[in-house]
Chains A and B, each alone.
Chain A
Amino acid sequence: NAGVTQTPKFQVLKTGQSMTLQCAQDMNHEYMSWYRQDPGMGLRLIHYSVGAGITDQGEVPNGYNVSRSTTEDFPLRLLSAAPSQTSVYFCASRSAGGPSTFGSGTRLTVV
């Protein structure tokens, strides 16, 4: 099993550009989440999904969109990148009551 696959691993964007961070899991997990990790802070939840077709906002959703058209995929879209979105992004998935499996992360720099 590949687990949780995130792409790309690194990305540099100019302010105002848009992009999509991809996340795919092959474990048939219902729950998927996106987090950002910033220095000196714990991971913070951006958006999450409890199943295909269902998404909800987390702690820091502004500037990001998500969709969950299939169980496997949970892409994160940056609509108009800002320097404040420079961060490391992690996707995670889990089954009900199970531990989370994390992707390897995407390091995003917005200049």
Chain B
Amino acid sequence: KNEVEQSPQNLTAQEGEFITINCSYSVGISALHWLQQHPGGGIVSLFMLSSGKKKHGRLIATINIQEKHSSLHITASHPRDSAVYICAVRNTGTASKLTFGTGTRLQVML
């Protein structure tokens, strides 16, 4: 079993829909990251969080430390949100090691 599991693996939505991507992890962490990768593109950090909730524009990230679970929500989705969304955790006590999920491929249709 991977230390970081994401669901769903693939997601197709219509423009305007509310989207949720889930991330579960099995290790103690100091922080959890949500990353975005456009096709053929680089990786951009969306959020880094260790508790509670963060919001940036139409994106919201939440984390429940007790349940070892995080969600990334996209409100009023748009085709430009089409990308792979990656969850990564920084294990407790590791200096510079991120453990990554395999990503959720999101396609938002017009």
A25, CB-defined interface residue at 8 Å: no
A105, CB-defined interface residue at 8 Å: yes
Q: Is the CB of A48 within 8 A of B97?
A: yes
Interface set of A (CB-CB < 8 Å, partner B): 31-33, 35, 40-45, 48-50, 56, 58, 90, 92, 94, 98-105
Interface set of B (CB-CB < 8 Å, partner A): 2, 4, 33, 35, 41-45, 48, 86, 88, 95-103
The DSSP consensus for interface residues of chain B is strand
Say whether, besides A90-B43, A100-B33, A48 and B96 are in contact (CB < 8 Å). yes
The CA of A92 and the CA of B41, in the complex, are separated in Å by: 14
The DSSP consensus for interface residues of chain A is strand
Residue of A90, A98, A100 with most partner-chain B CB within 10 A: A100
CB distance from A55 to the nearest CB of B (A): 11
